[in-house]
Amino acid sequence: MKAIIIDDERLARVELRRLLTPFKEIEIVDEAVNAEDAVKKIYEHNPDVIFLDIQMPGKNGFELLEELDGVPLVIFTTAYDEYALKAFDYNAMDYLLKPIEPKRLEETVKKLLERYQKQQLKESDKNTLTENDQVFVKDGEKCWFVKLETVKLLESEGNYVRLYFDDHKPLILRTLNYLDERLDSKTFFRANRKHIINLKWVDSIEPWLNGGLLVKLKSGQKIEVSRRQAIKFKETLAL
C-alpha cells in the first residue's frame, strides 16, 4: 500500500521513514512539508494512507483534510495529545504521539493492514455500475427505473444525493462518496466535493478560477471542476 509522510520537521520525517522500514507492505511514495505541498502530492500519488502531523506552518492537518475531495486512511503523528478527540472526528485510523514508540507503531500498522485488506475485499465485491445499467430510484411516493446514461448530474446534499435525469431530480439516501465508488469512472467524473458529472453530457469546457475548469452540460447546468480535479479531468478526456 502507498503512503505519504506529511510533516514540516525533516528529522521527524526521517525517523518515521526509518521506523516504517521493517513493514514491507507499506511503500512510502513521497514526503510533504506542509498542507499545500501535501495536497499536490496526494493528488499526484493517490496514496492509500497518509501519516499526518497536525501543527504545521500555514494550514494545519485538519484544514488539509478539509481541502481534499477524497480522503485516504489517516494516521495522525503529533507531539500534542490535546487533539486526539478531534482527530477521530475526522475518521482517523490512529493517533500516534511523538516520539513514536516502535511497539506502538507496530500495533498501528497491524490495524492499518487489516483495515486496508477489508477495504480491498469490500471494493472487489462491489459491482461497477455502467451507463447501460438501470437502477431503481424512490423519492417519497414517486418511483422510477432509471438508465444511468440519462443521469447527467449527481449533487451532494449532506448524506443524500440529488439525481438529475430527464426533467426529474429526486433525492436518494446515499452519499456522494458511495456513488463515486460504484459508478464507472469512464462515464462519471467527480468534479468537486459536491458534484459528479456524466461526461457524455458535457457540452463545453472553459478555464475557470484558480486553475479550475467550468463545465457546461447539455442540459444547461454549469459545474465547476476544482483545480485539483481539473488535471485528472484533462487526462481523462485526452487522447
Q: Are residues 9 and 53 in the same domain?
A: yes
Integer Cα distance of 95 and 51 in angstroms: 10
Q: Is the pLDDT higher at 70 or at 60?
A: 60
Look at the chain and report how many structural domains it folds into.
Answer: 2
pLDDT (tens digit, 9 = 90+) per residue, 113-165?
998 887 776 665 557 899 999 999 999 889 999 999 999 999 999 889 999 99
Q: Is the pLDDT higher at 43 or at 28?
A: 28
Could you tell me the residue range of the domain that residue 146 belongs to?
A: 134-237
Output the average pLDDT for the chain. 91
Say what the pLDDT of residue 70 is. 74
pLDDT band at 81 (very low <50, low <70, confident <90, very high): confident
Q: Is the pLDDT higher at 211 or at 189?
A: 189
Q: What mean pLDDT comes out for the span 213-217?
A: 96
Among 65, 93, 125, the domain-final residue is 125
Q: Are residues 9 and 121 in the same domain?
A: yes
pLDDT (tens digit, 9 = 90+) per residue, 171-199?
999 999 889 989 999 999 999 999 999 99
Among 92, 107, 125, the domain-final residue is 125
Q: Are residues 120 and 153 in the same domain?
A: no
Indicate the burial class of 24 (C-beta count within 10 angstroms; 0-12, 13-18, 19 or more). Answer: exposed
Q: What mean pLDDT comes out for the span 12-28?
A: 96
The 3-state secondary structure of the chain, one letter per residue: CEEEEECCCHHHHHHHHHHHCCCCCCEEEEEECCHHHHHHHHHHHCCCEEEECCCCCCCCHHHHHHHCCCCCEEEEEECCCCCHHHHHHCCCCEEEECCCCHHHHHHHHHHHHHHHHHHHHHHHHCCCECCCCEEEEEECCEEEEEEHHHEEEEEEECCEEEEEECCECCEECCCHHHHHHHECCCCEEECCCCEEEEHHHEEEEEECHHHCEEEEECCCCEEEECHHHHHHHHHHHCC
Cβ atoms 184, 131 nearer than 8 A: yes
pLDDT band at 91 (very low <50, low <70, confident <90, very high): confident
Q: List the CATH number of the domain containing 172.
A: 2.40.50.1020
Q: Is the pLDDT higher at 43 or at 155?
A: 155
Q: Are residues 116 and 141 in the same domain?
A: no
